C-alpha cells in the first residue's frame, strides 16, 4: 500500500464441527488467511463440551500459535478466532480478542470486526450501573450489552438480537456459547461476513472473508446479510432477520479497494474484478501519454492491470516487494517507516529507465511513502511519473473501523491535488472520483453505485457519529486529557 496510516480492519473466524476434532488448527489456518486484516494481535478460543480454552497474544498468527500453543487448546467441537488491528484501544495483550465472558448463564466468547459509534455512552451507562471493564476496546462494551440482555432473554441468540437494538455502528461478530456458534452483522453491513460448509465433515465455518473459507476446505454458502443473525447448532442453521432491511446498506467501499484479499468475494462481488474496474475508471478519468503502467505491490497491482487494459498502455513489473517484511505502517516513528520503504520495495530498472511511467496505488494519506516510492522511480531513470490513485482523496475521519480518527494527518485536507503532486514529486496526479468508486462493485439486489459507505471521501455518514473521536482516550496521560477537556 502506498501510504502508511490506513490500518486494516480485524478478521473474525468461527467453526462449528459435528464431532470433537482439532478445531484449533482449522481456526489457525483460517486466521492465517485473514492475516492481512490485522497484524497486531490474534487469539483462538476452543469449546470442548462447554469448557472454553483460550490462547491469545500480540504478534502474527505464525508467531503466536506455536505447536505447543495450539496443542494447549486441545480438541473441541467449536472455536472462534480473531486477528486484530485496533481502532479503539491501544495495542496490547489485554485488548486481544476473542473476549471471553463467564456469567451465570454460561460462558461466551466474542470476536468483533468494526467500530461502535455509541460505545462511550454505553460504557458510561454500564459503568454507572456497576460494570467493571478490563479492556479499553469497544468490543468489551458489546459483550457486556449482550451479557446484560442474556439475563432476561430466553436464549443467547435472542440476547444478541436485543443487544443489536442498542449497539450502533459497524460490527461483524463471531460469538460462541457452550452449545452454539452465532454470526451477526450490523444492519448497515459495513464490514463483510460470510459462512460456508466443509463437505468432508459437515462443519460450518464463519469468516470475515471467503478466502478464509477456502483456506480450510469449506465452500462458500452465502454472505450474512446486513442485520442478520445466523445460529449454528447440532440441529442445523437458523436465521434471525428482525434487523434486516431496517437501514440502508452501507458496505465500506474501501474493502474492495484495499482491505480485502483479491481472491475474496464480498456480497457477491469479486474483489479482484472490482479493483480491475477501479483501474479502468481511472484510465477513463485521467488519461495520460505514457510508456508503461506499474502497480505498487500488492494492493495497487490489480488496479494497474485495469488501467493498462483500458488505456492500452502496456503493463509492466516496475516495483518488487520483499515478501518477508510487514506493511510499512507497523513501524513506529516516521524515520523507521521511511527506512522500511527502502527495504520493502526495489525497482526493476529495465521497466522504468527512460520511460514515462504511470504508477497506480490505492490511496494517499500523508504522502510520505508515496514521495519515497516516486524517488525510487526517479533514481531508476523514470523520465516522467504519473501517479493514479484507485480511491478518492481522504477528507474525513472514519468511525466504522478504519483507523483514520482525525483530519489532522490527511494530506488532502490541507492541500490541493496540484500541491500534493508537487509534494510527492510526480508530473501528474489523478484520484478516482467519488462517483466512480461506488461503481466498482454492485451491491446485491441494488443498482450499481448504491449500497456503499464513502464517508471517508464524501463526509456523508450513514449513522450519527461521535462529536469527538474516542480512540485511545483511556491511554491518555492526565495532562493530555485535561488539555482536551479545556479545549471543549
How far are the Cα atoms of 16, 184, 456 from residue 176, in angstroms, in the given order? 9, 11, 33
Task: State the Cα–Cα distance between residues 365 and 367, nearest whole angstrom.
Answer: 6
Task: Phi first, then psi: give them for residue 342, nearest 5 degrees.
Answer: -65, -40
Grouping H, G, I as helix, E, B as strand and the rest as coil, residue 410 is coil
Give 184's strand partners.
173, 229
Of the candidates 424, 429, 384, 452, the residue with the CA atom closest to the CA atom of residue 282: 429
Instruction: Please report the sign of the dihedral spanned by the C-alpha atoms of residue 381, residue 386, residue 391, residue 392.
Output: positive
In 3-state terms, the chain is what percent helix, strand and coil (to 5)?
A: 35, 25, 40
Ranges of beta strands (E only) in 177-331 are 181-185, 194-197, 204-207, 219-223, 229-233, 236-240, 251-252, 265-266, 269-270, 292-295, 319-321
Q: Which residues contact 278 (CB under 8 A, 6 or more apart)?
A: 256, 257, 302, 303, 306, 390, 391, 432, 436, 437, 440
Say how many C-beta atoms besides its own lie within 10 A of residue 310's C-beta.
18
- Helix (H) or strand (E) holding 68, with range, is helix 67-73
Asked whether the beta carbons of 315 and 293 are under 8 A apart, the reply is yes
User: What SS3 string covers 132-190?
Assistant: CCCCCCHHHHHHHHHHHHHCCCCCHHHHHHHHCCCCCEEEEEEEECCCCEEEEECCCCC
The cell numbers describing 72, all together, are: 494447549
Task: State the Cα–Cα distance between residues 95 and 102, nearest whole angstrom.
Answer: 17
Say how many C-beta atoms besides its own lie within 10 A of residue 285's C-beta.
14
Task: State the Cα–Cα distance between residues 466 and 120, nearest whole angstrom.
Answer: 9
Catalytic residue set: 10
Q: What angle do CA 417, 286, 251 make, to 5 degrees?
A: 80
Per-residue DSSP letter, 258: I
Say how many C-beta atoms besides its own lie within 10 A of residue 204's C-beta.
23
How far are the Cα atoms of 76, 180, 198, 414 from residue 18, in angstroms, in the given order? 10, 11, 11, 56
Amino acid at each position: 500500500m502506498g501510504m502508511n496510516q490506513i490500518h486494516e480492519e480485524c478478521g473474525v473466524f468461527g467453526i462449528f464441527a459435528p464431532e470433537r476434532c482439532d478445531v484449533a488448527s482449522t481456526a489457525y489456518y483460517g486466521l492465517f488467511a485473514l492475516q492481512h486484516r490485522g497484524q497486531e494481535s490474534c487469539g483462538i478460543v476452543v469449546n470442548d463440551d462447554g469448557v472454553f480454552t483460550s490462547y491469545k497474544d500480540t504478534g502474527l498468527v505464525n508467531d503466536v500459535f506455536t505447536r505447543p500453543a495450539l496443542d494447549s487448546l486441545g480438541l473441541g467441537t467449536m472455536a472462534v478466532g480473531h486477528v486484530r488491528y485496533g481502532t479503539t484501544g491501544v495495542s496490547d495483550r489485554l485488548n486481544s480478542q476473542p473476549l471471553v465472558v463467564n456469567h451465570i448463564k454460561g460462558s461466551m466468547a466474542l470476536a468483533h470486526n468494526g467500530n461502535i459509534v455509541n460505545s462511550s455512552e454505553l460504557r458510561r451507562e454500564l459503568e454507572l450501573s456497576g460494570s467493571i471493564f478490563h479492556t479499553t476496546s469497544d468490543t468489551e462494551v458489546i459483550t457486556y450489552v449482550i451479557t446484560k440482555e442474556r439475563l432476561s432473554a430466553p436464549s443467547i441468540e435472542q440476547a444478541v438480537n436485543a443487544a443489536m437494538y442498542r449497539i450502533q455502528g459497524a460490527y461483524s461478530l463471531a460469538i460462541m456459547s457452550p452449545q452454539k456458534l452465532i454470526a451477526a452483522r450490523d444492519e448497515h453491513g459495513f464490514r463483510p461476513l460470510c459462512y460456508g460448509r466443509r463437505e468432508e465433515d459437515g462443519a460450518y465455518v464463519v469468516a470475515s472473508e471467503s478466502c478464509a473459507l477456502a483456506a480450510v476446505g469449506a465452500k462458500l454458502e452465502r454472505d450474512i446479510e446486513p442485520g442478520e443473525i445466523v445460529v449454528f447448532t447440532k440441529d442445523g442453521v437458523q436465521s434471525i432477520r428482525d434487523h434486516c432491511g431496517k437501514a440502508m446498506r452501507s458496505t465500506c467501499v474501501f474493502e474492495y479497494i484495499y482491505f480485502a484479499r483479491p481472491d475474496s468475494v464480498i456480497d457477491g462481488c469479486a474483489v479482484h474484478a472490482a479493483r480491475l474496474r477501479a483501474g479502468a475508471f481511472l484510465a477513463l478519468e485521467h488519461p495520460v501519454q505514457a510508456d508503461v503502467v506499474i502497480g505498487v505491490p500488492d494492493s495497487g497491482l490489480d488496479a494497474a492491470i485495469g488501467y493498462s487494459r483500458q488505456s492500452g498502455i502496456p503493463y509492466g513489473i516496475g516495483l518488487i516487494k520483499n515478501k518477508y517484511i510487514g506493511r510499512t505502517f507497523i513501524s513506529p516513528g516516521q524515520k523507521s517507516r521511511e527506512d522500511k520503504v527502502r527495504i520493502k520495495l526495489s525497482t526493476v530498472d529495465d521497466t522504468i529507465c527512460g520511460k514515462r511511467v504511470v504508477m497506480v496505488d490505492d490511496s494517499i494519506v500523508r504522502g510520505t511513502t508515496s514521495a519515497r516510492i516516486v524517488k525510487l522511480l526517479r533514481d531508476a531513470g523514470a523520465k516522467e511519473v504519473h501517479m493514479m490513485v484507485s480511491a478518492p482523496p481522504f477528507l474525513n475521519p472514519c468511525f466504522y473501523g478504519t483507523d483514520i480518527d482525525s483530519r489532522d494527518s490527511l494530506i488532502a485536507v490541507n492541500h490541493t491535488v496540484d500541491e500534493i503532486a508537487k509534494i510527492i514529486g510526480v508530473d501528474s496526479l489523478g484520484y478516482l472520483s467519488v462517483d466512480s468508486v461506488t461503481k466498482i462493485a454492485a451491491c446485491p439486489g441494488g443498482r450499481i453505485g448504491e449500497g456503499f459507505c464513502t464517508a471517508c471521501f464524501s463526509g456523508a455518514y450513514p449513522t450519527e457519529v461521535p462529536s469527538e473521536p474516542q480512540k485511545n482516550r483511556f491511554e491518555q496521560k492526565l495532562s493530555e486529557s485535561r488539555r482536551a477537556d479545556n479545549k471543549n
